[in-house]
Structure 1
Amino acid sequence: MKRNRIPQFFIIVGAFLLLLAVVLMLDNVPGVPVMLLIVLRKGAIYALVAVSMNILNGFTGLFSLGQAGFMLLGAYTYAILTVPVENQALVYQRYPNGGIGFSVTESLGRVLGQPGLLLGVIICLILGGIVAGVFAYLIGLPVLRLKSDYLAIATLGFAEIIRAVVQYEKLGPITNGSNLLSNFTNFSNFHLGSLKLDTVMPFVFAGVCIWVITLIINSTYGRAFKAIRDDEVAAEAMGINLANHKRMSFIISSFFAGISGAMLAMYQASVQATIFKAAMTYEILLIVVLGGIGSISGSIIAAFLFVGSSEWWLRFLDNTTVLPNFNAKLLFAIIFAAIVVSIVFLVVYRQNKAQKSRPEAVGRGRKILSLKLSGVITLVVGTLLLLGDLRFLISPDLQVPLLRSGFRMVVFSIIVMIVVLFFSRGLMGDRELPDLFRTRHKRL
């Protein structure tokens, strides 16, 4: 086993260093699309928070929806500790003498320079995670006795309570109330000589944290988490302390959620409680489901796909588009019709194949075509779309219909439904990337 693990470890480290080199090049080469860098930075942060959520939902079997609340705690802890002293009066305008009177990153940066700045950021990131972990411990004492939907509702309620408490006026001298916290240390403060590290640092922090999570999952504690997920009664019979391991999983997940919240604050260069709503938790949960519950690789891949689709690749759908002539209009109509027909065919074919594989679907030596309600709905919607496409083709109007502000999210939702339909267990299921290569090697 050791002979196999050592080369695999070096392969992973080498691939990660190569990735950092590519990201460093993209960060400093002129002409690189700004949206690409935004997707890479935000994708790295969302990958970490999705993996942290997977510890609970995927590996331990606990359904929690409090991730946004723990991210908020980490973000505010980091921001409060890193606002420079000379900027605290400007940031806390509504609160005289607001702020803590010192800055961890500023103090270490003056003494040690850039390494001191990096050390200060690491300390504040860890403190953000610790604050989130402490709250997770306190909340977990009563909440982890609940199961399934009740646990989800309780943790979701906690996230909303934390968001309200942070905006409480009496805490304003520390949290700045409902106002923005800004002017603190962010990713743009990192550089190596003349080289910018705005995109490299999110990858470094997220990569190290995900590596630590992987070690935990592959340890005896991680195996205990999986045993609890598979069968709590059997796990307890084997001597696993359910309460302690559930609490441990909850705290670990919250710790890394706090770090990812601090990283999100660094990415946005500002913090406000209003952005940490339940919708953020739902986005993270969607990433976990799309990537595969119980797959670290799947969460990472799905995070970048989610951020890229929602932030960049579908942006053109929010803009009104007028085609230059009838030929362009005809080409658009043909492509749109081909996409609709392909999707309808795949849905019907998949359901028909699943139906034929069942014994009850075969009668008198003949296979019966049977569609579920979703298949019928797909046929009806596809027919309506084709009729609308034909109507657009014969009309004199050259403006592409439906393309307007907000249509991007409609298309994104449809894409998510298609992915969930064809990948019921997510893109990766419960497998990791090395598992795919092992399977291919065995087949060869």
Structure 2
Amino acid sequence: MNMSPVLHDTQRRDRMLTIGAALLGLALLFVFDSMFDPFTMQIFKLCAINIILALSLNLINGFTGLFSLGHAGFMAVGAYTCAILSMSPDQKAANYVLQPIVPWLANVHLPFLPSLLVAGLFAGFIGWILGIVALRLRDDYLAIATLGFSEIIRVLLTNAQTITNGSLGLKGLPRYTTMWWAWGSAIAITIFLVLLIKSSYGRAFKSIRDNEIAAEAMGIDVFGMKVLSFTISSALAGIAGGLLAHYLTTIDPKQFIFLKTFDILLIVVLGGVGSITGSVVAAIVVTVSMEALRFLDGPLNLGFMVTHGIPGLRMVFFSALLMIVVIYRQQGLMGTAEFSWASLSRIGLLPKRSSKEAAR
């Protein structure tokens, strides 16, 4: 079947625009890496990590329709796995001062990439086990079960002294999470999820979200697809946790309390539940805004009065913003829409094909 000339030209134009955008993005990464100061680069890397976290949670909540609140637990699994595997024996000896690390981990020392991949696989394995047990539940019951799992993981990390170093955490980790590692991982995972959602698996996920009974009637293995979505999401959260560990260079169980899941959920809701584009945009906006609005926690001169500093005021601002979004725009920034070159043409940011060109 021959493709129409108009469709062929449109696809060629979109392909060229995509290649151009990719080259421009690569050039911008080089520019940012050479121009930004260290603090700005830290925020820039955190944007990439939050993109991965938002996309992984959106895969469960947005595309499969499962309400999970256990993401902090999978992040913790990935962070500790990657940190322990990538630390040298000397670094482990310096960290484990109260009790020595178990012998079978004492001399394990892997490069960063294998450690990160193992962290993702192990977090995915834990997610697979939890999925088999908990995904027969629905709605609020599933949320409670995954939230409880996250707390179980945190308590285990606190008490497994000979494996995780307990409440002391792990310090002095190598700063492997460079700008290229962070954004390279974010771009690769974004492309992977775009291809996944466009595949038959992604259509199965969305059919389960829209009508589980109809999806099962059409022959879809609903439970198997749920477990697959949950496993992939858990693995991606584990990778983000590994990147976060080597971004902060210090981790402890208190960093992975359930409030961390709500921070990610804030990004997903603001961006649009069920939109990859929305998660990417919201992750960048929220991460940058969190730092830009840090002045709200300090003393403020309002003209008619001067405050002495209200710690946590910026979180009050974001909480109010979330309430406004939930009340007035429940679909978030993008809803379920995605970026496309055609959408830019419709709103006039790209020139449309003339009627004479279309008629040729």
**AA matched with 1:177:** G
**AA matched with 1:21:** A
Using the TM superposition, give the Cα deviation of residue 34 of structure 1 relative to its aligned residue in structure 2, in angstroms: 4.5
Using the TM superposition, give the Cα deviation of residue 10 of structure 1 relative to its aligned residue in structure 2, in angstroms: 5.3
In the TM superposition, 1:25-424 aligns within 5 A as 25-29=31-35, 32-96=36-100, 98=102, 99-105=105-111, 121-168=112-159, 171-187=160-176, 198-310=178-290, 312-322=291-301, 329=303, 392=304, 399-401=305-307, 404-424=310-330
Q: Which residue of 2 aligns with 1:110?
A: none
8 Å Cα contact 2:101-2:163 kept in structure 1: no
8 Å Cα contact 1:77-1:262 kept in structure 2: yes
| Selected match of 2:29 from 23, 34, 41 | 23
Instruction: Name the SS for the 1:271 alignment partner.
Output: coil
Residue deviations 1:88-127, cap 9 Å, x none? 210212223554312111xxxxxxxxxxxxxxx2221111
Using the TM superposition, give the Cα deviation of residue 156 of structure 1 relative to its aligned residue in structure 2, in angstroms: 0.7
Residue deviations 1:337-369, cap 9 Å, x none? xxxxxxxxxxxxxxxxxxxxxxxxxxxxxxxxx
Summarize the Cα distance change of 1:218–1:423 in structure 2 as closer, same or farther, 3 Å threshold. same
Summarize the Cα distance change of 1:12–1:280 in structure 2 as closer, same or farther, 3 Å threshold. farther
**AA matched with 2:55:** V
Distance, in Å, in 1 between the alignment partners of 2:27 and 2:311 is 37
8 Å Cα contact 1:55-1:249 kept in structure 2: yes
Using the TM superposition, give the Cα deviation of residue 215 of structure 1 relative to its aligned residue in structure 2, in angstroms: 1.0
Using the TM superposition, give the Cα deviation of residue 402 of structure 1 relative to its aligned residue in structure 2, in angstroms: 7.3
- Length-normalised TM-score, structure 1: 0.72
Structure 2 alignment gaps of length 5 or more: 353-360
8 Å Cα contact 1:179-1:272 kept in structure 2: yes
8 Å Cα contact 2:96-2:165 kept in structure 1: yes
Distance, in Å, in 1 between the alignment partners of 2:88 and 2:209 is 45
**AA matched with 1:64:** S
User: Comparing 233-242 with 92-101, which one deviates more in the overlay?
Assistant: 92-101
Q: Which residue of 1 aligns with 2:347?
A: 440
Instruction: Name the SS for the 1:309 alignment partner.
Output: helix
Q: Which residue of 2 aligns with 1:363?
A: none
Residue deviations 1:12-40, cap 9 Å, x none? 454244223323322222xx354432321
> Greater relative contact order (Cα 8 A, min sep 6): structure 1 or 2?
2
Distance, in Å, in 1 between the alignment partners of 2:325 and 2:70 is 25
Distance, in Å, in 2 between the alignment partners of 1:211 and 1:231 is 27
User: Comparing 283-292 with 17-26, which one deviates more in the overlay?
Assistant: 17-26
Using the TM superposition, give the Cα deviation of residue 140 of structure 1 relative to its aligned residue in structure 2, in angstroms: 1.2
Using the TM superposition, give the Cα deviation of residue 227 of structure 1 relative to its aligned residue in structure 2, in angstroms: 0.8
8 Å Cα contact 2:78-2:237 kept in structure 1: yes
- After superposition, the CA RMSD in angstroms is 2.4
- Length-normalised TM-score, structure 2: 0.87
Using the TM superposition, give the Cα deviation of residue 320 of structure 1 relative to its aligned residue in structure 2, in angstroms: 1.5
Q: Which structure would you say has the larger Rg?
A: 1
Instruction: Name the SS for the 1:294 alignment partner.
Output: coil
Count of residue pairs the alignment pairs up: 342
Using the TM superposition, give the Cα deviation of residue 267 of structure 1 relative to its aligned residue in structure 2, in angstroms: 1.1
Distance, in Å, in 2 between the alignment partners of 1:5 and 1:53 is 31
Summarize the Cα distance change of 1:228–1:103 in structure 2 as closer, same or farther, 3 Å threshold. same
Distance, in Å, in 2 between the alignment partners of 1:262 and 1:178 is 18
Summarize the Cα distance change of 1:423–1:27 in structure 2 as closer, same or farther, 3 Å threshold. same
User: Comparing 312-321 with 269-278, which one deviates more in the overlay?
Assistant: 312-321
Instruction: Name the SS for the 1:249 alignment partner.
Output: helix
Distance, in Å, in 1 between the alignment partners of 2:189 and 2:269 is 21
Distance, in Å, in 1 between the alignment partners of 2:150 and 2:11 is 40
Using the TM superposition, give the Cα deviation of residue 134 of structure 1 relative to its aligned residue in structure 2, in angstroms: 0.8
